[in-house]
Amino acid sequence: MKPVEECIIGIVGLGLMGGAVALALRKCGAAGKGKLLACDTDSSALNAALAGGVIDEGFVSPEALLERADLVYLCLNPSTLLSFMKARMGSFKNGALITDIAGVKGAICAAMEETLREDLDFIPGHPMAGSEKGGYACSMYCDFRGKNYILTPLKRNKGEHIDYIKKLIRRMGFGKVTETSAAEHDRKIAFTSQLCHVIAAALIDCEADTNITSFGGGSFEDLTRIAMLNAPMWTELFIENSSALLSRIGQFEKSLGEIKALVESGQARVLEERLAAVRERRLLMNA
């Protein structure tokens, strides 16, 4: 791969995350001597990014982007990504390096392991940064600094390509970069991300009184901010990763039920010990 400054980088999908990736690439000087291209079916996002100087060229159809891009950042929902790769496999530039941002990795990794064109390389990734706000217009609220990034490399990935992407990720401002398998990613993300979104949604779902926030002291607001979710995308993520997610919901329900039983039976000492252990564990997670 040529130095990232000299690359033509193509971003496919200029929504919240695509926009945030474009902004971070622009700021860190990637494609500075090359070009930053983007395609999206929504021309208003492209026009805004062009007007803001975030991208150099915009396309409503991906062909002209794919045939020129040395590096392609696929910023699509999992199902759109899979159908995009199937339909456009022939259009990528010879030797292009591809990465993505999808929140569930199992199906994508399996498909790419089997069907990726011989000359291409695809490093599956998941930037752990988002926002309850959606769309290109909100991409500036999506702060990458210090955030986690997960890579789930394919067996066929070249080591130098993984290093190349990792270096770019750090340059974009991310903190810890973790490499793991797609299965491990999906199991852990089911907990840290999907279960949390299900819980936030259930908390809002179970109370119709929108004036209840007069009684809020910050906890409720913090726990339910992510309930302002992108419903189509999260539906897809939940169902795509349903087996891991259902197991995580079950795990949570068990703990919830046990704490409930301690409250119900008034076992103050046992409850206090359990809460103290929770506190200690959570403090360790900060370390």
Residues 222-241 that bind its own copies (CB under 8 A): 222-229, 231-232, 234-236, 238-239
Question: Max CA-CA distance within the chain?
Answer: 68
Residues in 49-88 that interact with its own copies by CB under 8 A: none
**Rounded least distance, CB 59 to its own copies, Å:** 29
Return the number of the residue (171 or 188) whose C-beta is nearest its own copies: 188
Of 126, 137, 232, give the one whose Cα is nearest residue 185.
126
Q: What is the x/- site pattern for its own copies, positions 117-146, by CB under 8 A? A: -----------xxx----------------
Cβ–Cβ < 8 Å for 46, 54: no
**Rounded least distance, CB 225 to its own copies, Å:** 7
Q: What is the x/- site pattern for its own copies, positions 242-261, by CB under 8 A? A: x--xx--x-xxxxxxxxxx-
Q: What is the x/- site pattern for its own copies, positions 147-166, by CB under 8 A? A: xx-x----------------
Return the number of the residue (44 or 255) whose C-beta is nearest its own copies: 255
Residues in 164-193 that interact with its own copies by CB under 8 A: 176, 178, 185, 188-189, 191-193
Q: Could you give phi then psi for residue 38, rounded to 5 degrees?
A: -145, 150
Beta bridge partners of 11: 38, 73
Q: Could you give phi then psi for residue 286, rounded to 5 degrees?
A: -80, -20
Integer Cα distance of 213 and 137 in angstroms = 28
Return the number of the residue (60 or 256) whose C-beta is nearest its own copies: 256
268-275 LR contacts (CB < 8 Å, sep 24+): none
Return the number of the residue (94 or 219) whose C-beta is nearest its own copies: 219
Of 162, 183, 175, 186, give the one whose Cα is nearest residue 241.
186
Amino acid at 280: E
Tell me, by CB under 8 A, how many residues bind its own copies. 87
**Rounded least distance, CB 161 to its own copies, Å:** 22
**Rounded least distance, CB 45 to its own copies, Å:** 21
Rounded to the nearest 10 degrees, how much is the dihedral formed by the CA atoms of 100, 65, 133, 20?
70
Q: What is the x/- site pattern for its own copies, positions 190-219, by CB under 8 A? A: -xxx-xxxxxxxxxxxxxx-x-xxxxxxxx
Strand residue runs (E) in 13-159: 35-39, 57-59, 71-74, 97-100, 121-123, 125-127, 149-151
**Rounded least distance, CB 246 to its own copies, Å:** 6
Does the protein bind its own copies through residue 92 (CB under 8 A)? no
268-277 LR contacts (CB < 8 Å, sep 24+): none
Residue 278: both structure tokens together: 């929770």
Cβ-proximal residues to 53 (8 Å cutoff; 6+ apart), any chain: 26
**Rounded least distance, CB 60 to its own copies, Å:** 26
**Rounded least distance, CB 54 to its own copies, Å:** 23
